[in-house]
Amino acid sequence: MMIRVTFVFLVMLTRLGADTVVLKNGLVLRGTVDKDNTIVSVFDGIKRTIVKDTRIQSTEVKDSFPNLEGFQYYQPLIQHGGSMPAYAIEIQSEPWDKNGRRRFSYKGPKPTKPMTQAINFLNPRFAKYRGVDGFWLGQISTNQIPRPTIMELLRVVDKASQAERLRAGRFLIQAEMYPEAKASLEKLALDYPDLKETIEEVRKTVCDLEARQILDELTSRRRGGQPRKVLAGLKAFPAKDVSPEILSDVQELLSKDEDQAEADRALVGLVQMLADELIPKVSEGWSLAIVEVLGALTDAPDAVRNRVEGMNKPEAKTIPQKFALAMSGWVIGADLAVSDLAKAKKLWELRGLVTTLVNSANDAERARALALLQADDPGIDIVVRIIDRLAPASTTLPAETALVENAPRSARIETKRVLNDNNAQPTEYMVRLPTDYSPYRQYPTVVALHIGFGPATALKFWGEEADKRGYIVVAPEYNTPGQRPDYTYSISEHAAVELALRDAKKRYNIDSDRVFLGGQVLGANMAWDFGLAHPDMFAGVMVVSGIPAKYVNKYLPNTEKVPLYVVEGDLAPSANEMIFGVILKPMISRGWDVTYTEYYKRGMEDFPEEVPSLFNWMDKHKREPFPKTFSGITARASDDRFYGVVIKEFAKDTIVDPSAVEPLGKNITKPAKIEGKLSATANLLNLTMTGVKRADIWLSPKMIDFSKKVEVKVNGDKWKFKGIIKPDYGPMLEDLRLRGDRKQLYWARLVVK
């Protein structure tokens, strides 16, 4: 008996498996693999994810899914038969109650009434349900069902049957519901004393699984720049019944973190000592700089300690030299730090000029700062290094925790109004900052487009997972007062999102190369449109149950350079036929970075269970700000910027007003088109533009070599430039002031007429 029960428990502890597909970007898909020529589909029983075969690194094929414990439930029905609708939109559902039922409504091709749905099958991965008083067959991820509901449903097992109770325990472990599994095992041990020893061994293994789960989250938070949260979690790590191996791993991590914390305290003490020794004897005027450096080294040492490592250089013989190396390295990086105190002071003065040019709204103040910068002429590469290390304009350290060792700061939500916004209706947005946010760390960011009912709904959808991963969430209010909850493809809506993102980049330390755009349902309609209209702004665009309408159908070629992740239910209107078959499949076939996920027996809804997968995808992507080849199609006045080409005037009949565009954009017949190709060998930018009368061309050293003659051609020989281009502080810093994009800096501008 003991051997049989031990075997049963070992089976229930087996890790879930399936075919495993590893993509070249590191993403992992699990499920049954099917291939149609070059298109690969991975179906996990709930959804299928489709990618191009050339994006796959490896595939490990298994025979089938493992055996999952499942339970059938009898739910009395009023309506037994019927057929599923051709499509389902405007889905509304209430939470599942303790009996596994919920109220549900939708709109389809025929008039419908709200119905009650009931779960009739449950396994650790998904639940099946059907309509009680209306016909519906559907399924949902088990992790979207409240745990109390799951526990109530498991009460149907025969409490007198050891086998059934073992099945329930197996279910809880496979579903990774470890606290509930431990409670179940404890009851089993009480009811079956002869199995107590075996059950105790299994319970310890479950404790290990739970501990690994906690460690996984701490690892995620460590990657997300939350060292204080991680250290607190390691100190509070549950040790009871956890294996020595895991506790050893925890202790090793804790020791490393505590040693690093001690080293960071010593570093702060050293800088403070240098300042205390130096200031009274040598020079005044360093007080604000010292406060900044000490505050940042205390608040986010992991992000900034390398900036003062110049103190370890061989030439650091005296206190003034060490101090100069630390303070100059803070401004331009330790590798270029200088040991001369006067030169270090000059670098801080230059930083002050750059700060004024980037942050000041006063024209005269900026003009004076620019004149001084040009007169000094430190070199544009030095200015760029200063920019890269500037903290956001509104940098402040919370007084209550700035100097308190290892005090984690909770995630927080703020509402902001765009600074210096002269529009009649000021632009507002909400932002969620992750745990342990510091203005001295750079953060990936999701620009979250709401479903028509305000930014708070977007924060709710993205916020929890964003916090675990260390992402900022920016949720613009793009609707105007009195506007019905819809997206109208208007210039004002685009302006609201663009202004909100620009403002957020000035207030918070956003990594511009890791900004993603996402929306669900009505917000997804805008994500389709805005993402393809502004492809060089984002590292990726995520569309959850969106309709590609109006301009989108003409802008589809813009997807080539912006990764796209589309999620639909197979009951969404034309999901398989149009969205996948007509739009996405050709893109995937071309090898573009497009991922399509389709949920089985689901309509147009928001799919919260997909959020972790969306973040897995984001974790693997980064914007390419200066591609060697690029293109853009536009037919709306606000869609005027493509990889450094800024349209200043469109040709006649190119622009079509949003209110006049047909649903599929068929009356957009003469869109403007831009194609660019860079040649490093010839130091040449070759542009082809149609529908454009005037444009600015912005150039970066990532595009051309400024030390050599540069050639720029537009439409062959119709317009061209050949010669030396001198980098210009003024346009670069003004562009940075307006856009706030530190990772896409342009050193010069040419005007094409």
Contact 465, 448 (CB under 8 A): no
Q: Which of 123, 143, 163 is the last residue of a domain?
A: 143
In a domain, 403, yes or no: no
> Is 458 found in the same domain as 376?
no
pLDDT at residue number 64: 53
pLDDT at residue number 3: 40
Contact residues for 378 (Cβ-Cβ < 8 A; gap 6+): 350
**Dist CA 353 CA 365 (whole Å):** 10
In a domain, 177, yes or no: no
SS (H, E, C) 519-549: EECHHHHHHHHHHHHCHHHCCEEEEECCCCC
State the average pLDDT for the chain: 91
Nearest 10 degrees: Cα torsion 261, 263, 268, 271: -170
pTM for the model stands at 0.93
In a domain, 704, yes or no: yes
- Inter-helix orientation angle 162-174/2-12, to 10°: 30
pLDDT at residue number 159: 81
Give every strand in the sheet of 748-752, ordered side by side. 641-642, 645-650, 692-699, 748-752
In a domain, 327, yes or no: yes
> Is 444 found in the same domain as 366?
no
pLDDT at residue number 395: 63
pLDDT at residue number 7: 42
Contact 677, 622 (CB under 8 A): no
What residues form DSSP beta bridges with 49? 42, 597
> Is 648 found in the same domain as 586?
no
pLDDT at residue number 731: 95
In what helix (H) or strand (E) does residue 12 lie, and over which residues does it extend? helix 2-12
> Is 545 found in the same domain as 512?
yes
Report the 10 Å Cβ neighbour count for 521.
24
Contact 239, 274 (CB under 8 A): no
Q: Among 508, 506, 526, 527, which residue's Cα sits nearest to residue 516? A: 527
* Three-state DSSP class for residue 460: helix
pLDDT at residue number 533: 96
Range of the domain at 80: 74-143
> Is 647 found in the same domain as 597?
no
In a domain, 156, yes or no: no
Residue 517 φ/ψ, nearest 5 degrees: -110, 130
Contact 386, 354 (CB under 8 A): yes
Give 515-563 pLDDT, tens digit per residue.
999 999 999 999 999 999 999 999 999 999 999 999 999 999 999 999 9
In a domain, 113, yes or no: yes
> Is 379 found in the same domain as 497?
no
Q: Among 295, 301, 304, 302, which residue's Cα sits nearest to residue 403? A: 295
> Is 541 found in the same domain as 442?
yes
**Dist CA 199 CA 185 (whole Å):** 7
Angle at CA 352, nearest 5°, toward 347 and 353?
A: 100
If one counts the domains in the chain, the total is: 4
> Is 420 found in the same domain as 564?
yes
> Is 416 found in the same domain as 306?
no
In a domain, 734, yes or no: yes
- Indicate the pairing of strand 39-43 with strand 510-520: unpaired
> Is 569 found in the same domain as 657?
no
> Is 422 found in the same domain as 543?
yes
pLDDT at residue number 476: 96
In a domain, 451, yes or no: yes
Q: Which of 128, 143, 158 is the last residue of a domain?
A: 143
pLDDT at residue number 196: 87
What are the start-end ranges of the H helices in 473-584?
491-507, 522-533, 552-555
Amino acid of residue 27: L
> Is 689 found in the same domain as 646?
yes
Q: Which of 353, 388, 423 is the last residue of a domain?
A: 388
| pLDDT < 70: residue spans in the chain | 1-17, 63-66, 281-284, 394-407, 423-424
